Amino acid sequence: MSVAETGRPVVVIGLDMGDGELIRAWSKQGYLPNFAALIGEGTWIELESTARALHTSTWPTFATGSLPGRHGVYYPYQPRPGHQEAQLVSADQYGVSTLWKRADEQGRRCIVYDVPETFPEPGFGGQAIFEWGTWAWYGARCAQPAELLARLKQRFGIYPLKMEAKRLGARFPDPVLLEKRLHSSIAHKAASFEWLLAQSQWDLALMVFGETHPAGHYLWPHGVSCITDPGDTRFDAIRRVYVSLDDALGSIRAALPGNATLMVVSGDGVTANNCGCHLVPDVLQKLGFATPPAVAEEGATEGRRGLSLGRIKDMVPKGARRWIADHLPWWLRDKIGASIRSENIDWARTRAFALPTDLEGCIRINLKGREPQGIVAAEDYDALCEDIANRFRELINPATGEAAVREVWIRNKIFPGPVQDQLPDIMVTWNNSAPISAMSSARMGLVEQESPDPRTGTHSPRGFCLARGDRFARGASATGRLEDIAPTVLDLVAAKAGEMDGSVLYDR
């Protein structure tokens, strides 16, 4: 029996890096009337999120109902057994199916629009659009069926933002232009989603607004370490984006059947960008876990030492480096960066090394049998992980005298599972109460370097779900986990979840 026949369609609206604390505060202040109405009619659920350790694992966790050790996806560049360094992620790294593939296999008619960090799945019979308006592309812009993309473009034109994380790189966009495009992009996404809903019958529809992601990174007020007063005028730009989002929510809701279950979900929020990930390679070296190549003997000629990419980079003035990096294709810039990182490591003497990251300190053990140049024996793995974790917990931010690190997570303790080797072995999260331009400890001494990241805001581990429907109490509050969303959605459309790490959020 289809959900349409039972009169219980389900719509899930995702907010990429959408902040629940801001939404609730601005709803109370009258800025977000549609969110306020939904809060009064539904249940607000605070979600424990995988963002507490790996912020970019949230959408795969949402999509699969599984923790990263089972789904295996967390970043555009990830480690893979058999490769010495991180590789561009691909669809075959997913260890489990998405909730919409499972619903489709059980006869539910699905629409999927811009769920980040997901890929087309063979055999999916619904309608799906990928990387149309997502912020960080993991794959290529495409659709199932393929002609759906051409129809979308013909009807609405190109997605208005015209920016994407990897292509933007370390540049800081003009805030006025960015905000203007975010408003038009939100309207574009809402109108095109309503068009998709009107094109055919459906039982389950999922769509994600990616616009809250760059808004969080670039419109967060400079120098504000935490949210103390969301009415502060310094939040005006980001608040205006949420007002546009509220308008879009009202428009979408008006287009839905009156008895539809509506869920608004975010796996993480926004906070000040005070991270120390840029210092991790130097910390690993100073503590003796990583070793740079041996310095060439004194008096060696340039020809004998070789002209490496790193040496060429050092010969170019800093201003010119930035211009060159900004004008290279993203894939070539990333490839050059990976080559420079690799040539700065003596793999034969390195036990642990830093992985590419956007927030956490992500560390990989150079393990025999997994890394081609691995030197750490399997029997030494656990002790080495604990040793590194303890050394990082000792680190102090000299600017404040406080711990620089909020927590250190060891992968097989927090995210066990069959594909956990696609994750970092160790994840370091930061005490973001103040900028981190240096770290010190009695054992290590001092490392210092200004962060090269110009973004004012970044991800927080706060997740939420706002749900309105027969299964959810009016004006209530509850707690859950991000991985609970997928089995809950499948239960709502009367489909079986199968084996998942999450569970249904309500009593059946």
Tens digits of residue pLDDT in 142-158:
999 999 999 999 999 99
DSSP letters of 460-475? Answer: ES-EEEEEESTTS-TT
Q: Tell me which of 52-56, 196-200, 504-508 is least confident.
A: 504-508
Residue 314: its pLDDT value, please? Answer: 53
* Mean pLDDT, residues 295-312: 46
Is residue 166's pLDDT more than 90? no
pLDDT band at 4 (very low <50, low <70, confident <90, very high): very low
Residue 229: its pLDDT value, please? Answer: 75
* Mean pLDDT, residues 128-136: 97
pLDDT band at 319 (very low <50, low <70, confident <90, very high): low
pTM of the model: 0.91
pLDDT band at 336 (very low <50, low <70, confident <90, very high): low
* For residue 76, cis peptide bond before it (omega within 30 degrees of 0): no
Residue 230: its pLDDT value, please? Answer: 66
Tell me: the pLDDT tens digits for 236-254?
A: 999 999 999 999 999 999 9
Dihedral sign computed on CA atoms, order 349, 352, 355, 357: negative
Residue 506: its pLDDT value, please? Answer: 93
**What is the overall mean pLDDT for the chain?**
91
Which residues in 336-475 belong to E strands, given as ranges? 352-354, 361-365, 396-397, 402-403, 405-410, 426-430, 438-441, 445-448, 457-460, 463-468
The partner residues of 408 in beta bridges, in order of sequence, read: 428
Among residues of the chain, what percentage have pLDDT more than 90?
Answer: 83
Residue 402: its pLDDT value, please? Answer: 97
Is residue 437's pLDDT more than 50? yes
pLDDT band at 296 (very low <50, low <70, confident <90, very high): very low
Residue 508: its pLDDT value, please? Answer: 75
Helical ranges in 49-145 per DSSP H: 58-64, 68-71, 99-105
Among residues of the chain, what percentage have pLDDT more than 70?
Answer: 89
CA distance 349 to 351: 7
H, E, C per residue of 295-310? CCCCCCCHHHHCCCHH
At 322, give phi and psi (nearest 5°): -65, -40
pLDDT band at 316 (very low <50, low <70, confident <90, very high): low
Tell me: the pLDDT tens digits for 69-96?
A: 999 999 999 999 999 999 999 999 999 9
* Mean pLDDT, residues 370-397: 98
Q: Tell me which of 44-48, 167-171, 345-349 is least confident.
A: 167-171
